Amino acid sequence: MSKLTSNQLQEYNDNGYVAPIEVLTKDQAFEIRKEIENIETKWPNELKGAGRNYVHMISPILDEVCHNSKMLDAVESIIGKNILICGTTLFIKNPHEKGFVSFHQDATYIGLEPHNWVTAWLAITDANEENGCMRMWSGSHKDNIRHHEQKYDEGNLLTRGQTVENVPLDKTTPLVLKAGQMSLHHPTIVHGSGLNKSKDRRIGFVIQSYIGTNVEQVLGKMYVQQARGDDTFKYHQHTKRPHKIMSSEDIEIRKKANDDLQRIFYPGFTKKRDL
């Protein structure tokens, strides 16, 4: 078992995040990068824009990551033994592009209540200040949901450019991770990330999120997998795990899941964009 230590749990409760957590070797992380880039090469439209969501549904390798026992042990320490995989996202910042993530709170726009869930951010490449690692506003998870401006700004990797204004940068902490390391963060912590100023890609594979089975989707419909325990609540649509890369059946299921996800991300909004 690789459950969080008492010190790590205290760090999560005090700061709203915990990192780094050792999950994969550097070589294992590189194999995942190769899988991502293989899909980009053979199916060039599948990982663009909204296609970076639910990627575990179309790749057995990415699916296997979500069920990694070290990740699930750490998650269980926070949300309990009944765990669902609620979604995944690739956050890719290529060099010489203007990709960034504005400061925001995940709970503002995902519609998962109560907040018995946690986001896992797995570094597929090294993540550091040069290439735009996440920055966390420690302790901000203890406050209420903050007002977010919908900016739709160029280069923002969030759907609507959701932005918490006037975040004191000097009070944020960079989450420097080596390839294969993971961070876990609370649904209401304010966080964001800057530009990639390095010469290589920065790739994060994000399980957004691991949720307890008691968590409902109040804005729409979610497609989930059972990771551990039992689901006695049956709030969500359960899906099977993929057995081969990019099967036509899995692509169709992912399309349905993504269509419903877009309805969650844009409730009542007429303005949309394909990132």
Question: Looking at the domain assignment, is residue 221 inside a domain?
Answer: yes
Give the span between the Cα atoms of 29 and 82, in whole angstroms.
Answer: 27
Question: Looking at the domain assignment, is residue 270 inside a domain?
Answer: no
In the structure encoding, which two tokens stand for residue 246, read together? 């990019």
Per-residue pLDDT of the chain (275 residues; tens, 9 = 90+): 579 999 999 999 999 999 999 999 999 999 999 999 999 999 999 999 889 999 999 999 999 999 999 999 999 999 999 999 999 999 999 998 888 888 999 998 899 999 999 999 999 999 999 999 999 999 999 988 888 887 777 787 877 778 889 999 999 999 999 999 999 999 999 999 999 999 999 999 999 999 999 999 999 999 999 999 999 999 999 999 999 999 999 999 999 999 999 888 876 655 554 54
Q: What CATH number is given to the structural domain containing 133?
A: 2.60.120.620
Question: Looking at the domain assignment, is residue 113 inside a domain?
Answer: yes
Question: Looking at the domain assignment, is residue 272 inside a domain?
Answer: no
Q: How many structural domains comprise the chain?
A: 1
The model's pLDDT over 185-200, given as tens digits with 9 standing for 90+, comes to 999 999 999 999 999 9
Question: Looking at the domain assignment, is residue 271 inside a domain?
Answer: no
Closest to 88 (Cα-Cα) out of 234, 204, 195, 260: 204
* Count of H-run helices and E-run strands, the chain: 6, 16
Residue-range definition of the domain harbouring residue 244: 6-265
Full-model pTM: 0.93
Give the span between the Cα atoms of 114 and 215, in whole angstroms.
Answer: 6
The model's pLDDT over 28-79, given as tens digits with 9 standing for 90+, comes to 999 999 999 999 999 999 999 889 999 999 999 999 999 999 999 999 999 9
